[in-house]
Amino acid sequence: MSAGLRVFLFFSLGYLVSYLFRGVNIGFGPYLTQELNLSAADLGSLTSLYFLGFALMQLPAGLFLDTWGPRRVNALMLLLAAAGTLVYGLSDSLPGLMAGRLLIGAGVCVCLGAAFQALAQTFPLARLPMVNGLVMAVGGLGGVLVGSPLSWLLERSSWQSVSVGLAFFTLTVAALIWFGAPREGARHRSTPTLAEQWRGTRALLRDARYWRLVSLPVMTGGAFYGVQSLWVRPYLIEVNGLDAAHAAGLVSLLGFAMMGGNVGLGAMARRMERMGLGLYGFGGACMVLFLLTQALIMMRAPIPPALLWICYGAFGSANILVYALLAGEFPPELLGRVASTTNLLMFLTIFLCQVGMGWIVDLWPRQGGVYPPAAHLAAWGVVLALQAGSAIWYFWPGRRRAT
């Protein structure tokens, strides 16, 4: 097997692992709620700790990658994720589950960054957009697997057994990366210290132009991933009245749509640029369509649910375009800090959206073990209003448009 194929395959599996962990509580949620008597706020807080651990590790993870390279860092960090899912699967109390979930988020925080770095060291620049998109598609397959496949598996096994199985799968991927990926050469260039990275992040956070560019992508990303990795299944069952099997099928369909959006919107963006619509405008338009899709879902518009959730997945992935936009707005020597700061904001927002939606839903008492539709609609309405406010800031007249 060629070095390029090994890098692509093994690091793609690493990103797949991170995506599986991101959404696995979609399937685990009903069992955890029943066995531990969790409220919606408890479940939201538990699930969101993945994103908190991920966010808190962004700055040190960048330093680790620049110092020791993607092969060693990704493999060793996956050992932390494997330990976290063992803690998760062997816990019978909420504090133990929360500790495991936090360790999992910290352990997989480098998976995508390590993949992009390893690919950049292996493939010529002209092939990177295509190869990076393929890695995103392989990882996005995790969003499909946490739907019907996970539901099928949980009918035949316990969530604890699935967690332990995921630990062994994670260890296998870590071994493949450590022993199978090409070894990095000696690293001669100096790397910024954590203090220097933090100073760069603080300077960026004081830049009004940066905030304008990331306002809408960060809010739509927080809403999309917060819902996709937990709240979509309860919404489909408790608001739309679907049975568990139908809901799981739509979760998988949403995952496929997101995979298509990651690849398709990137290709369309370049075509739109040649037609005169810049990345700023095209990305903004796609994110506004995501807001419209959420409104139609909430209004139960007379549109086939499958079509609505396909649009939700496809347009929900548009927030990823912000990284290409920022690459054209800031000098190359700042892009590492720009990317790490954007990741930090994105995952903190996902964490807050997931926790906040759980708290809002929990304001309504459960009726027969389920929450009333009004509880979910209120949570979605608050998140949609925040996204609409970000869209107004993003498109506000008089602000200098990105080129």
Model confidence pLDDT, tens digit, residues 332-390 = 667 667 877 888 899 999 999 999 999 999 999 998 889 999 999 999 999 999 999 99
- pLDDT beyond 50 at 312: yes
CA-to-CA separations, 249 to 143, 148, 245, 254, in angstroms, rounded: 11, 5, 6, 9
Choice between 259 and 88, residue whose per-residue pLDDT is larger: 88
pLDDT at 403: 38
Mean pLDDT of 100-107: 96
Q: 367: which strand partners?
A: 370
Is residue 217 pLDDT above 80, yes or no? Answer: yes
**What pLDDT does 194 receive?**
67
Residue 402 confidence (pLDDT) above 50 = no
In this prediction, residue 126 has a pLDDT band, given cuts at 50, 70 and 90, of low
pLDDT average, residue stretch 198-211: 82
Task: Report d(CA 291, CA 300) in Å as an integer.
Answer: 14
Per-residue confidence band for 401, with pLDDT thresholds at 50, 70 and 90: very low
> Within 181-304, where are the H helices?
194-205, 208-226, 232-238, 244-274, 279-298
Handedness of CA 151, 156, 162, 165 (dihedral sign): negative
DSSP 228: I
Tell me: pLDDT of 189 over 70.
no
Q: Residue 124 contacts by C-beta under 8 Å, 6 or more apart in sequence?
A: none
Q: Which of 49-53, 66-70, 125-129 has the highest mean pLDDT?
A: 49-53
Here the contacts of 261-265 (C-beta below 8 Å, separation 24 or greater) are 261/313, 261/314, 261/315, 261/316, 261/317, 261/318, 262/133, 262/136, 262/137, 262/140, 262/317, 262/320, 263/133, 263/134, 263/136, 263/137, 264/314, 265/314, 265/317, 265/318, 265/320, 265/321
Cβ atoms of 322 and 213 within 8 Å: the answer is yes
Any idea of the CA torsion for 267, 271, 273, 277, to the nearest 10 degrees?
A: -100
Q: What is the CATH number of domain 192-403?
A: 1.20.1250.20
On average, the pLDDT of the chain sits at 89
Q: What are the residue ranges spanned by the domains of the chain?
A: 1-186, 192-403
Which comes out higher in pLDDT, residue 326 or 294? 294
3-state secondary structure of 188: coil
Of the candidate ranges 11-15, 112-116, 275-279, 355-359, the one whose mean pLDDT is the lowest = 275-279
Question: Which three-class secondary structure state does DSSP give residue 367?
Answer: strand
The pLDDT value recorded for residue 137 is 82
Helix (H/G/I), strand (E/B), else coil: 370: strand
User: 1-186 and 192-403: same fold?
Assistant: yes
The CATH class, in words, for 1-186 is mainly alpha
Greater confidence, 273 or 265?
Answer: 265
Contact 19, 142 (CB under 8 A): yes
What phi, psi does 367 have (nearest 5°)? -120, 110
Q: pLDDT value at position 106?
A: 95
The token pair at 353 is: 């959206």
**pTM (two decimals):** 0.87
Handedness of CA 143, 65, 326, 211 (dihedral sign): positive
Least confident of 20-24, 27-31, 98-102, 326-330: 326-330
Q: Are 197 and 340 in contact (CB under 8 A)?
A: yes
Calculate ∠ Cα 129-21-382, nearest 5°: 85
